[in-house]
Amino acid sequence: MKYHPIDSDLFVRNRAKFTAKMKSGSIAVFNSNDIYPIGADSTMPFEQARDLFYLSGADQEETILLLFPDAIDPKHREILFVRETNEHIAIWEGAKLTKEKAYEVSGIKTVYWLTDFEKVFFNLMTEADTVYFNTNEHYRQSVETQTREDRFIKWCKEKFPAHKWEKSNPILQSIRGTKEPQEIELISQACKITEKGFRRVLEFVKPGVWEYEIEAEYMHEFLRNRSKGFAYTPIIGSGFSACVLHYIENNQQCKDGDMLLMDVGAEYANYASDMTRTIPVNGRFTARQKEVYNAVLRVKKEATKMLVPGTLWAEYHQEVGKIMTSELLGLGLLDKADVQNENPDWPAYKKYFMHGTSHHMGLDTHDYGPLKTPMQANMVFTVEPGIYLPEENMGIRLEDDVVIQEQGEPINLMKDIPLEIEEIEECMNK
């Protein structure tokens, strides 16, 4: 791994939070992700299942975590199963987790080879009544591929039909949303790497460069700072492309007079950052670009103030919509009749700002976390309003990552990344 070692105390605390919410006499099982094939002998880069990483720190394929707080034998209350390694594997694939290293990473004392899983699992199931399955129930999920977790669930139900089943997801939704201080520090590190990439790009962008060249500049800076790269597929859209919300081709030339929208973020230790900045390709905002940019910036600042304990996510978005409506009226993009006659299910402002303002962020860019209960301190949210004007060949979105505090406004983890017009112009015209 490129990142510095993480103290296993983080994963010990995360497991304690999870097991505290388990029913008595129950086992929870978490599987690693598969390595997915491309063709021939090629595969996609491995990405660990975030829930398994959250609870163990094990960042390796063919890994299983088993939690059984009521196991008769204390050594079986936490078990990590890892792929058996040897000198041959070390030469061909690189070093894998030994039992000793697995303990060091996770804080789990009982480590078995993966080949022992079925035997150990059968023995423990004779003591258990219930099994927690880890299904993906994220509100944005659209998975079509059968995962290692899916195969385990199918196998387990066939092998142990008399047991009861529970879902791990509600527990994970409740505990992953509120971050430990160590997690916030890891997210902050990802944000700092993103800042380095953005400052590099501010000096690089000029009329005539290509969007993919800008993507390459970010990747260069991310990799040289211990990141695997982008936390999500980067959006680097100039001119009209900035109005396409999930534009990822990044294959157009940046032209003089265009605005350039960049929705990018580095990962660090599997934790994400999520930044959006919109800059003038030629280094100078026009009067109109300033007008729209500052409208978005005002919405962002007002929205950020509302991210405090007790805020309800749905009501928050309604209030942000009202602020955006006021800005659009000021820009002359809406008039009073538009607002008076609007459809409550699709307010008038949605013509120019059609996506949400905030989402949880952490191990996943759109992280697990409760959305129907009041916000709490140490939740990490994005703030990302935008105005999109296809007829003007311009889309502007601004986004930072913030941590909700017990009192006062949230802490902006991206406060050092240039945002104000004057600072952006100064950096681009050194």
Q: How many CA atoms lie within 13 A of 261 on its CB side?
A: 28
- What phi, psi does 194 have (nearest 5°)? -60, -40
Give catalytic status of residue 87 as yes or no. Answer: no
Residue 267 identity (one-letter amino acid): E
Give catalytic status of residue 263 as yes or no. Answer: yes
> Which one of 246, 391, 406, 422 is the catalytic residue?
246
Beta strands in 232-321 (DSSP E): 235-238, 259-264, 267-268, 271-272, 275-280
- What phi, psi does 342 have (nearest 5°)? -70, 155
Give catalytic status of residue 88 as yes or no. Answer: no
Exposure string over 333-369, b if 16+ CB within 10 A, otherwise e: bbeeebbeebeeeebbbeebbeeebbbbbbbbbbbbb
> Which one of 215, 217, 263, 267 is the catalytic residue?
263
Tell me, rounded to whole angstroms, the distance of Cα 195 from its chain centroid: 17
In Å, how far are 107, 191, 225, 387 from 185, measured between CA atoms?
20, 10, 15, 31
Give catalytic status of residue 366 as yes or no. Answer: yes
Find the DSSP H helices in 67-208: 87-93, 99-106, 117-125, 148-159, 169-176, 181-204
CB 163 within 8 A of CB 179: no
> Which one of 366, 392, 409, 425 is the catalytic residue?
366
Give catalytic status of residue 132 as yes or no. Answer: no
> Which one of 78, 221, 399, 400 is the catalytic residue?
399
Give catalytic status of residue 163 as yes or no. Answer: no
Give, for 60, the enclosing helix (H) or strand (E). Answer: none
Give catalytic status of residue 246 as yes or no. Answer: yes
Give catalytic status of residue 359 as yes or no. Answer: yes
> Which one of 15, 176, 359, 360 is the catalytic residue?
359
The length of the chain in residues reads 430
Give, for 292, the enclosing helix (H) or strand (E). Answer: helix 287-305
Give catalytic status of residue 76 as yes or no. Answer: no
> Which one of 258, 274, 327, 367 is the catalytic residue?
274
Report the catalytic residues. Answer: 41, 246, 263, 274, 355, 359, 366, 384, 388, 397, 399
